[in-house]
Chain A
Amino acid sequence: MRQNSLQQRLGLNTLRFFVLLVLLFLGIILWEVFSKGSGVINSGFLFDYPRKGMTLGGIFPTIMGTIFVTLVTTIFAIPMGIATAIYLSEYANDNGINRLIRASIRNLAGVPSIIYGLFGVAVFVQGMGLGSSVLSSGLTLGLLTLPYIITTTEEALKNVPHSYREGALALGATKWEAIWTNVLPSAVSGIVTGSILGLSRAAGETAPILFTGVAFYLRYLPGSVYDSFMAMPYHLYILSTQHHAIEEVRPLAYGTALVLLSLVFVLNIIAFIIRYRYRNFNKARI
């Protein structure tokens, strides 16, 4: 008995230790970025163009570029991803081909992002002649996000109780009506969460946009989806490794990192709020 309770305590404390370790690393990263980056954040940093070989000024075009390209990704990846997930979850039979499709999609989620970048160059930039542009980058990021959106959406749909579908069908709904009016709304929080997390990952990627549309420095914002753009992750990469005066621009790099982190954070907050509001409405009385 005594030995068992000792084991129990030991086990629990080991788990606690690892949780704290993870939190510690996370805390160090956040503290590092925040303490070193917050000093340069002001309205000029957010709304000015870089000046003097990026040693002065702000990161306005990189913020706009990242938002713009993420928007293209959203428009491309979310409808396609959700449609695919609906098909796989609701319509596809459980046969060999569909299992293969599912396995392929899961595996695509593990493909390194640089591979997507190379694929984007080959297919969008050159193959389809879209050039080095917001569109090419957005589509490439979309491909990168698709497996993630499909998997999480399919998971969310699978979690909708079977009885919601049957209940709707028994009331004279067609299969599509049951999905559209009943299954999808019930899965919305899972779908939104998955999609936003997927997009926030895309917003922070460098490799896929590297060859497909991002530019080192531009004097103008992209005027259409066929223009090149600047983006925060790439800007951060430049400032921290490729710049001629790395030490001098280090605070700017940290500032950029902080803004990028904040953007991702805001996206996650939005996902959280949507989930929370949805759950609150349906909180069951116990």
Chain B
Amino acid sequence: MKPKLAVRNLHLHYGTKEVLKGIDLDVPENNIVALIGPSGCGKSTLLRAMNRMHDLNPEAKVKGKILLDDDDIYAPGKDVVAVRRKIGMVFQKPNPFPKSIFDNIAYGLKIAGENNKQKLHAIVERTLRSSYLWEEVKDDLDKSALSLSGGQQQRLCIARAVAVEPEVLLMDEPCSALDPISTARIEELMLELKKQYTIVIVTHNMQQAQRVADLTAFMYFGEVIEFAPTRQLFDAPQMELTANYLSGNFG
């Protein structure tokens, strides 16, 4: 099967330090791929490379390719904005904008030029429903998004990312700041979302990877050590390093 997102020999340098050392990774469509590994192994860096977030950092130099439907997002002259519209991102800490709940969800649509009030309303309702937030906030759409709880904020951020209908959703430890109940709701949401989207998630939580991911990649010092179906990777790791990490010998 052709991958939705394919990383090809990706190198990333911060100044003189090589953070990613030739990554190859195939993300199949409508799958959840988890990136795991010890702190500093480059998993977040890889995730951020997937929607060119490193463009903001003049220190970061990227070499190699990332293909979205066979189309290199790092090709010269590629429109970064168009790339990011297709590859959405949810961050580690919920980062709702200091605007109303409605404006948060509508933000991506508005900057894309959608001004039809009715249409915006319909999309806001639909995405809030799809992130199981609608019942909790339907009477408070014009209240500040910062008044929501942490778990609600993160679901809002997911809804916001989904509202612009990306093809791929990147999630950088989306539950690390949340309690177990909020985490469970977000995992439930991810499983629902993968029917429509392709998801790549960075997580520190092994159980979470096992609960949600179809495929898991174990990374260590800027390299993908092992990439396999989640069950296989956790039950019968092929590499000694993976086995050591999973059994808690380091990390």
**A164-B95, A284-B147 as given contacts; A181 in contact with B53, CB under 8 Å:** no
Q: How far is the CB of B176 from chain A (nearest CB, A)?
A: 14
Contact flags (1/0) for A14-44 with B, using CB distance below 8 Å?
A: 0000000000000000000000000000000
B85 at the interface (CB under 8 A from A): yes
**Interfacial chain A residues near B161, Cβ < 8 Å:** 170-171
**Interfacial chain B residues near A164, Cβ < 8 Å:** 95, 97-98
A11 at the interface (CB under 8 A from B): no
Instruction: Specify which of A167, A185, A186, A285 lies most central, judged by the most chain B CB atoms within 10 Å of its CB.
Output: A167
Contact of A283 among B91, B95, B147 (CB under 8 A): B147
A173 at the interface (CB under 8 A from B): yes
The answer to whether A170 and B146 touch across the interface, beta carbons within 8 angstroms, is no
Q: Which of A269-285 contact B (CB under 8 A)?
A: 281-285
CA distance A168 to B91 in the complex (A): 11
B160 at the interface (CB under 8 A from A): yes
**A282-B144, A282-B146 as given contacts; A172 in contact with B95, CB under 8 Å:** no
A248 at the interface (CB under 8 A from B): no
B203 at the interface (CB under 8 A from A): no
Contact of A169 among B53, B82, B98 (CB under 8 A): B53
A241 at the interface (CB under 8 A from B): no
The answer to whether A171 and B84 touch across the interface, beta carbons within 8 angstroms, is yes
The answer to whether B111 and A181 touch across the interface, beta carbons within 8 angstroms, is yes
Contact of A171 among B56, B88, B147 (CB under 8 A): B88
CA distance A161 to B148 in the complex (A): 18
The answer to whether B84 and A169 touch across the interface, beta carbons within 8 angstroms, is yes
Q: How far is the CB of A185 from chain B (nearest CB, A)?
A: 7
Q: Give the number of A-B contacts (CB < 8 Å).
A: 78
Q: How far is the CB of A282 from chain B (nearest CB, A)?
A: 5
Instruction: Specify which of A166, A170, A182 lies most central, judged by the most chain B CB atoms within 10 Å of its CB.
Output: A170
Chain A interface size range: 20 to 34
Q: From DSSP, what is the main secondary structure of chain A's interface residues?
A: helix
| B147 closest partner in A (C-beta) | A285
| A182 closest partner in B (C-beta) | B97
| B170 closest partner in A (C-beta) | A170
**A167-B91, A167-B157 as given contacts; A172 in contact with B84, CB under 8 Å:** yes
Q: How far is the CB of B173 from chain A (nearest CB, A)?
A: 13
A13 at the interface (CB under 8 A from B): no
Q: How far is the CB of B79 from chain A (nearest CB, A)?
A: 10
**Interfacial chain A residues near B98, Cβ < 8 Å:** 164, 185-186, 281-282
Q: Which of A159-179 contact B (CB under 8 A)?
A: 161, 163-174, 177
**Interfacial chain A residues near B89, Cβ < 8 Å:** 166, 170
CA distance A164 to B98 in the complex (A): 9
Q: Which of B141-190 contact A (CB under 8 A)?
A: 144, 146-149, 157, 160-161, 164
**Interfacial chain B residues near A93, Cβ < 8 Å:** 58
Q: How far is the CB of A187 from chain B (nearest CB, A)?
A: 10
Extra 15 A-B pairs, beta carbons < 8 Å, given A165-B56, A167-B95, A181-B110: A163-B93, A164-B95, A164-B98, A166-B53, A166-B91, A167-B160, A170-B51, A171-B164, A172-B108, A172-B111, A185-B99, A186-B97, A284-B147, A285-B147, A285-B148
